Chains A and B, each alone.
Chain A
Amino acid sequence: MWWWNRFSTARFRTGPLNIRTYVRYTQDINSATQAVFRAKGWVVGRNVAIKRYDSTPTGQPLELFDSAHSRRPVIVELLRSPWIVRASELVRRDGGGATKRVEEPLTVEWDVHRQCPVSFVRANRRYVVDAVVQVWAAERRWWDPRRQVSRRFFRVVARGGVYDLAFDRAHGGWSLTGIQD
């Protein structure tokens, strides 16, 4: 299928943000594509990948999506859902919520050619970036050196979920700012 080919892993890695993805999928998903899904016996509708997952209490693997192949539907879902807000914004004041907001220094491997992170190392474990689903920038309070924020954020899909990586342009370091799993 044409759209499936476009979402090959290699394709996801080609650029930081793909508007076409958002647009085409939000337009088409309710029509012909859904029919194809049904014909194949796949679960259709919103949050397909999550619905497909066995939610019985018999036990779940530590990582929900342990291969690039299994993460693909998640990526598709994310790209179909541009209304998803920044992970860190989902943190509730009481500490609950769907997302953990963290502030951990990271080592990130940067692809100069494609201008996006390729992998990062967290807790001595290397996470390969399957896709960059969104990029945004923050440049705030530049007049106050103590509170200045000058960052470029990359929301990436990697093993274990969705991660928000931030590059601090003022000091040159990477950090992990949010995890949605």
Chain B
Amino acid sequence: MHLHTHSHFSFMDGAAPLDGLVARAAELDMPALALTDHQGLSGVIRFYSACRAAGIAPIIGCEVVVEAAGITGEEADLPPEARLDMPARVGFGRASAPGFHLTLLARDFEGYRNLCRLLSRTHLRGAEVPSIVRLRDLRELSGGLIGLSGCGNGEAPQAIAMGHPGRAGAALAHLAECFEPESFYVELVHTLTVASPRVISGLVRAADERGLPVVATNDVHYLHARDHRLHDVLSAAGARMALPGPYDRPNSELWFKPAAAMRELFAGLERACDATLEIAARCAGFELPLGEFHFPGADIPAGETPYSVLAKESWRGLERRYQPMTPEAIRRLQHELALIDQMGFPEYFLVVKEIVDFAKRSGIRCSGRGSAGDSIVSYALGITDADPVRHDLLFERFLNPERRQMPDIDVDFDSARRDEIIDFIYKRFGHEHVAMVATVNTTTARSAVRIAARAFGLPIAEVNSLSRHLPWVSARKIREVLATYPECRDHPLHDPRYASVLEIAERLDRTPTHLGTHLGGFIITREPVASWMPLQWAAKGTVVSQYDKDDIETLGLVKMDILGLRTHSAISQAVELARARVGESAVPEPFDLVPDDPRVYAQVSSADTVGMFQLESSGQRNLSTRLKPSCFEDIIAQISLFRPGPLEAEMIVPFIRRRHGLEPVSVPHEGMRVVLADTYGVIVYQEQVLLVARAVAGFDLAEADSLRRAMTKGRSREEMERIRGHFLERALGRGVDAEVAVEVFRQLEGFAAYGFNKAHAACFAVVSYATAWLRTYYPAEFATAILNNEPMGFYTPRLVVNDARRHGISILPPHVNASDACYTVEQEGSAIRVGLRDVHEMTARLLEVLPRERAVRPFRDLADLLRRTRAGVSAAESLIRIGALDGLGITEAGRPPTRDELLVLLPELKAVLAREGSAGDDVLCLAPAPVRAAEDDSHVSGWSPARRLSAELELVGLSLTDHPLALATADLEGRGVTWARDLHELPDRSKVRVCGVRERAQTPRTRSGKRTCFLTLEDPTGLLDVVVFSDTLARCGDVIVKHRAYLIDGTLQNNCERGLAIVAGDIKPYVVRTASGAPVRMRRGVPSGPMGPSLGGAGAPEEESWGGAVIAAEERAGWNGSGP
């Protein structure tokens, strides 16, 4: 059996999947197996579970980097001939280090805890200190640990290999002293190299001289010898080197060898192989305490218990929430409190409440979501905002007394103030008791290709061209994607030169590559976190655990998701802006509104929903027009229906038809009529599955939830038959007709897996209504708040700006005398001023200086700006080109200078400033070089609309002047194009031609398995939803990917059943051109300054998508729909 095994969780230095290791060990009848990944335990929890399931004793361990034990002082202090070669860096990120290896195995749970503490102490010693275990820490924390002297990169083997047996002996002696007696073994690894026998013989001699036992291992890094290529590629890419990588391993012998092969290697040294069994026996008692819950300490006053505090708080909250209090609410609260107490969860609720209370005290907007909304306790405590009694939400869906599992309450906080919540958590529970949850990042098609290509030493430009433009699919599907996806028709991976890259990339499918940090997951523990799991520094400087959320759940620890929701930030800001304009008392708190405003529902029904939380996507807009929501329950239904499950089960069509009376509401059993009344007899919500099971078969709600889960999760045919038999038996026992019972079960079976959690939808609906209300009554403030909190929502800032313009809100360009860093509302809520933050080349310093200087007095001209702000040439150039200096200054002609004149003046002025330190009124005496004549005398900039638009799109990513297609209105109308605003007037099945700029292209999974693309386009009058079915997609897919604007011929679908959409028949690219024939830009070309939003926002450049070649091709072909 193997005591030194690396899995994928050695991150870029292990090519063996955990499941594969366990399966292979079981196949080879190994009684135990150790996992010893580099510098961490990221894989051990799932390894432990897999081993237990396979009947193998798991041994948890780790291979650490340890400081030199055989010398006094540093390696560098030794004379050159006495120094050893330092092994290459192992581990990943900040937990990596170069140095000698040492293998540690946990003998018992105390050993596991010590291992966690040792790793945490090593990794957290300092963010920039290499993660090398110190001998004094090892000595202190070696209780319950067994040490092995390390693979070929251990100090002793290295010393012997380099001819220093004395040092090897000293190292072994010192390391052995760090462990408990008889807990240190000299590790022998026979890797079939020329030096192996010599090193082994030296180690055995050194061990025997000191009375230390020896043990044989194989330093396993991959399952089979053939997998060594993957290992080489991973280790090379992990070290950012080309093959052969940092280790330059001489052969492929680090595979998972059977016991017989190991004994053959160590023939004559049976005791080394026997020692593996001895160690396994010593570790046999190791058990992780799974199945128990470990809650952080809540604040409980003396004389109280967690339950008593929870009960008091809940009753107080109930009184506040229900005025008047209803018997149903009282009954539910009693029921829930009893169950929570019985399951031992009061402390968990109190901890969540503490955090939410802090947020509310501090004015930080927050809202609970998920199945926690099913609980009246959560509602009473103020964690969630949807009334569970009013919306028929069922507690058993949240906490099922039949299945004792850790509750999960997710709370979204105002993204802009999330750090305050995090600070509170650290202060309240203590830094040692809080850590962030890790995520294990695995390869996709793109990353796998990058890893392989980099390892093969390809130039970075080639690596980029190979990995970009691959869709987001798993690596094992690369060949399929290349063969079938039209946008991959010309992909360079088709070239046979890249056959090896392709082969390796496919085999790297879903390989963990590094630990990331969960967006908002925090572990909170009563004991220090480091006694439960190893901690390390994350790249962004926070302390992160080495376990992901599933591992933490398995350990029974509390994980809180402190998620930042930008919608909350936008709502808060919109309310603030509105109150600043119309008065504090005039704008109510949106979350406290009674959701019954017909104007709000009318706006949602008209699909005018850009910016509305959960209601703005193209699919939701389409559903809005079909559903015509008129009450809060409709919003909940709308949110629930447009989800992968209900979509796949095609629940929408019967729902809509029945709602509009196109088909009768029919249910197989009368009991269902009541519980499915809100959804017209269609099972939409998971809660309804429980209610139906209760109504028809008399299940109690806990039983019914167990039934639902059994129907949902990985059900086998036998399991399903068993459930069916049970359901039918109970239903028939209640006198239900057999045919009816069978039909009810068929419907449950069909919908249970696809239904959506109503509580989750109800919690979301509260936020959705708030955004809909703000958009209806304060559209300028709402749009401004969205733009200030980008990236968020479904659409780009460009579309949000265009949508605001379509609603009569003026979009004012950035100006040095009017703009702040952020977007602002002007002209009594009828205009939005673009902020300077998103302008290319703006610096943080400049954004700070500009408003400060402007407050002294407005800028007079370019020279004044340069003198007072010391703006750089590039920033000043951007400001000129975007129009932020339009109208400033005066020329000899008695008018403000044009942008071209300013651009010519700029270097002259900068030169004067650099030479003389100031440039005053004499600047106009400078004689700049002649500039080209103004293109448009009617505009102060002197630039034509097309040129202004191109600059806007290039520098801020927005079309401030107008929609780009508005420049080609005459041409498009001449081609018979129908505008978006006119489509709803045309009859169903009309043949139409439309033109739009691509906003989104989605290819979701469809029930048929065929690939369908849903395109959201924008023309100057509105949004267009285009469906591209597989046959058209096969013909025109590459046009969609390679171009931004299209002319589409298709058939209009305009009926209440399917809504408004265009089914594409033919798609051709369209290029808007200026009068001179140059193409007008359609996307942002450059990144914004450091203050700009992160990727995805207005400040981020949009991917050119094979742009250079495409634009050139467009120009060559003269494409404009007509084509050559």
Contacts and interface: CB of A to CB of B under 8 A. Distances in A.
Contacts of B244: 140-141
A132 to B, nearest CB: 12
A89 B500 CA distance: 33
Interface string B193-221: 11011101100110010000000000000
B259 interface: no
Interface string A87-106: 00100000000000000000
Given A19-B266, A140-B244, A27 B193 contact: no
A140 B232 CA distance: 10
B892 interface: no
A143 interface: yes
A19 B202 CA distance: 12
Contacts of A82: 197-198, 201
Interface stretch (B247-255, B459-467, B696-704): B247-255
A136 B205 contact: no
B253 A137 contact: yes
Contacts of A143: 229, 232, 243, 456, 500
Interface string B1009-1049: 00000000000000000000000000000000000000000
Given A139-B252, A142-B229, A24 B268 contact: yes
A19 B253 contact: no
B264 A15 contact: yes
B208 A135 contact: no
A70 interface: no
A18 B197 CA distance: 9
A134 B198 CA distance: 11
Nearest to A140: B250
Bin chain A's interface residue count: 20 to 34
Given A15-B264, A18-B267, A137 B243 contact: no
B197 A22 contact: yes
Interface in B224-274: 228-229, 232, 243-244, 249-253, 264-269
A86 B198 CA distance: 12
Interface residues of B, number: 30
A15 B268 CA distance: 11
Most chain B CB inside 10 Å of its own CB: which residue of A22, A24, A135, A138: A22
Interface in A1-33: 15, 17-24, 26-27
Contacts of B252: 137, 139
A22 B232 CA distance: 32
Residue from the set A83, A85, A89, A141 with the largest chain B CB neighbour count within 10 Å: A83
B483 interface: no
B593 interface: no
Contacts of A85: 194
A17 B205 contact: no
B229 A83 contact: no
Nearest to A88: B194
Contacts of B456: 143
B192 interface: yes
Contacts of B228: 139
Interface in A130-171: 134-143
B192 A136 contact: yes
B268 A18 contact: yes
A32 to B, nearest CB: 16
A139 B250 contact: yes
A18 to B, nearest CB: 5
Contact of A26 (B192, B201, B232, B251): B201
Secondary structure type dominating chain A contacts: mixed
Given A137-B252, A138-B250, A19 B197 contact: yes
B201 A23 contact: yes
A140 B854 CA distance: 67
A118 to B, nearest CB: 18
Interface string A50-61: 000000000000
Nearest to A143: B243
Interface centre among B192, B208, B252 (most CB of A within 10 A): B192
Given A15-B267, A137-B192, A22 B200 contact: yes
A94 B205 CA distance: 37
Contacts of B249: 139
A17 B197 contact: yes
Nearest to A80: B201
> Which of B194, B244, B268 has the most chain A CB within a 10 Å cutoff?
B194
Contacts of A135: 192
B192 A20 contact: no
Contacts of A24: 268
A19 B205 contact: no
Nearest to A25: B201
Nearest to A152: B192
Contacts of A27: 205, 208
Contacts of A89: 194
Contacts of B267: 15, 17-20
A2 B191 CA distance: 30
A127 to B, nearest CB: 22
Nearest to B264: A15
A27 B205 CA distance: 7
Nearest to A142: B229
Given A137-B252, A139-B250, A143-B456, A83 B265 contact: no
A83 B199 CA distance: 9
Contacts of B196: 136
Contact of A134 (B197, B243, B251): B197
B198 A19 contact: no
Contacts of B264: 15
Contacts of A140: 244, 250-251
A17 B201 contact: no
A134 B268 contact: no
A17 B266 CA distance: 9
Contacts of B193: 136-137
Nearest to B197: A82
A18 B231 CA distance: 29
B269 A20 contact: yes
Contacts of A17: 197, 265, 267
Contacts of A15: 264, 267
Nearest to A115: B264
Contact of B251 (A23, A83, A86, A138): A138
A136 B394 CA distance: 67
26 contacts: A18-B267, A19-B266, A19-B267, A20-B267, A21-B268, A23-B269, A26-B201, A82-B197, A82-B198, A82-B201, A83-B198, A134-B197, A136-B192, A136-B196, A137-B250, A137-B252, A137-B253, A139-B228, A139-B249, A139-B250, A139-B252, A140-B244, A141-B244, A142-B229, A143-B243, A143-B500
In order of increasing CB-CB distance, the 6 nearest A-B pairs are A20-B268, A137-B251, A139-B251, A139-B252, A82-B197, A22-B201
Interface of B: 190, 192-194, 196-198, 200-201, 204-205, 208, 228-229, 232, 243-244, 249-253, 264-269, 456, 500
Interface of A: 15, 17-24, 26-27, 82-83, 85-86, 89, 134-143
Given A26-B205, A139-B228, 20 more contacts: A17-B197, A19-B200, A19-B201, A19-B265, A19-B266, A22-B197, A22-B200, A23-B204, A26-B201, A27-B208, A82-B201, A134-B197, A136-B192, A137-B250, A137-B253, A139-B249, A140-B250, A142-B229, A143-B232, A143-B500
